[in-house]
Amino acid sequence: MNKSGTGSSSSLLSVVAQHTCAWAERWFPDAFAFTVTVVAIVTLAALANGAPAANVVAQFGTGFWNLIPFTMQMSMLVIGGYVTADSPPVARLIAWLARLPRTGRGAVAMIAFLSIVLSLIHWGLSLIFSSLLTRALARRTDLPMDYRAAGAATCMGIGSVWALGLSSSAAQLQANPASMPPALLKITGVIPFSETIFTWQSLTMMVILSAVTTFISWKTAPDESVAMPAARLGVDLTPQAPTPSQRSRPGEWLEYSPLPSLLLVALGGAWVWHEFVAKGPVLAISALNTYNLIFLLLGLLLQWRPRAFLDSVSRSVPHIAGVLVQFPLYGAIGAILSNAANADGLTLTHQLSQLISRFASTDSFAVVVGSYSAVLGLFVPSAGGKWLIEAPYVMQAANDLHYHLGWVVQIYNAGETLANLINPFWMLPVLGILGLRARDLIGYTFVQFLVNMPLALFLLWALGRTFTYHAPVGVP
């Protein structure tokens, strides 16, 4: 058996995944190199579109800092999730779950299923919890689980159905007029959840994609004879020993007293409660700042002593290195795509939008827009920000074609999600926690992409035919 783990297997999909992994291990670049390659492609495309070089350079420099707030949010997402899961109570829950699977392939399927279910509540919870569960499962010496396949399974929520759930950025924006730019509100009006994520068509699609994705995760996982455990990949899974919980000097009294933790939890909890009352539970929990604060407070409470909390934070920080370095580059990519215009004032996103108007009809709208959203998602992997780029011309085209606007939101969501299966952007927190590289996962996620892409486009087309168009509601 070679390093990539190729060999005989009872599953054809497993063989395909293993050969894809072997190819990715040899040819797929590191996540940072992949990002730089995308920067180069977008830069050359903008220049070929006629944008002045000075404008492209200016957009790179400006856009580089556009995602800094989001970069901080993602870093806090990893830290909050880590300190919560690193606490004794949650660690015991993860350890209990890790004892359930009896086979390596069953463990991979369980990770994928939990990742999918949790992503419907919040994609961040899905990534962090399933990553820490994967590490716990990998520590079992009696479980021949392929660590790469398990790592890929942690990404199944963010790569299949998360945007069809409660934390859908596009659905949240469209349901809240105060969050929408006035120009977009004039085109779409208010689109409530009852016309997006809570339609029977969306729920049907969610169930089908969830079942298929879990099944593919199970079928692509290698048999125990060819499984690659974490140790063979050079990953150290030894838990770091916690700091002794006793103070050695009087000045350390506050570090080991729960009083500072309880004070912060009380203050933060009061603010969170106010957000839930003012905005409602669904909208409040979907705000990333609120979500992050909840988990930081929960981690602080479960760690109990400030010293234990800070030590856990220190253990989490190395896992955010990729986020800190690469997210700003994606901000630059988005700025070049959206703002680097030629002499006629046309940007790359405008040029791409013209393809929709040229090729889309009422019957083909779902396939064209879904494919377009997936492609653009490779270059602008920010669901909310990308929706604000796409929505004005996509929704106007839908109005012109008398296509149901709520389903357009879900078309966008499904296409946006597919891109996450082959873009290392959303894998970065997972890679940091698991100690893997993008090339270790891409062989398995690419097989998922090959299956889910045509399936999702078919479902978008078929279910879209069941809707009846109505004019936008609440247009000022």
pLDDT level of residue 227 (50, 70, 90 thresholds): confident
20-44: pLDDT as tens digits: 777 767 767 777 887 888 899 989 9
Of residues 298 and 471, more confidently modeled: 298
Q: How many CB atoms lie within 10 A of CB 262?
A: 13
pTM for the model stands at: 0.81
Q: For residue 44, give every residue at least 6 positions away whose Cβ sits within 8 Å of its Cβ, in sequence order, or none.
A: none
Q: How far apart are CA 145 and CA 138, in angstroms?
A: 7
382-397: pLDDT as tens digits: 666 678 767 777 888 8
Six-digit token string for 441 = 């996962």
246-283: pLDDT as tens digits: 666 666 777 888 899 999 999 999 999 998 888 877 66
Q: How far apart are CA 293 and CA 346, in angstroms?
A: 40
Domain residue ranges in the chain: 12-233+253-464
Q: What is the mean pLDDT of residues 409-421?
A: 91
Residue listed under structure tokens 């690419």: 446
Q: For residue 324, give every residue at least 6 positions away whose Cβ sits within 8 Å of its Cβ, in sequence order, or none.
A: 71, 75
Backbone angles phi, psi at 189, to 5 degrees: 65, -165
Whether 381 contacts 429, CB under 8 Å: no
